[in-house]
Amino acid sequence: MKRPPKPKRASMLHGRLWVEIDGEAAITEAGADLLDQILVSGSLSEAARRLHFSYRRAWLLLEAMNTRWPQPVVKTATGGHHGGGATLTDFGLHVLRAYRDAQLQLEHLLGAAGRAFEPLASGSRGHS
């Protein structure tokens, strides 16, 4: 009786991207996600809720980004009768777009480089 063939195993390279300024993270994936949600919602607290971040975590992340870049990435207004808000600055929008573009480039690079591992993960012995 013949053995059934082994199922094909998938391999994939992974990587993380962040930008450092003077050795400190200026934007990370979490920071970019926060900026995306601020862009959509216009609110730091709503952005934090959507990402399941505590308000404190979101505030600290935003404060770190605003102080590490040479210009603020987000302007905030305190709450009150008309409510507060948060908006990306033009500079912040540029930072976010550049980060997302770099993420896409990294994913493309990792996808192409990962093809070399496909025959190895499936058990092919063609390489020594």
- What the chain holds in terms of domains, given with CATH numbers, is 26-115 (1.10.10.10)
What is each CA distance from 128 to 113, 119, 120, 124, 125, in whole angstroms? 18, 12, 10, 10, 7
Provide the pLDDT confidence category of residue 111 given band limits of 50, 70 and 90: confident
Mind listing the pLDDT tens digit for each residue in 36-94? 999 999 999 999 999 999 999 999 999 999 999 999 999 998 765 556 799 999 999 99
Q: Which of 5-9, 15-19, 112-116 has the highest mean pLDDT?
A: 15-19
Mind listing the pLDDT tens digit for each residue in 92-103? 999 999 999 999
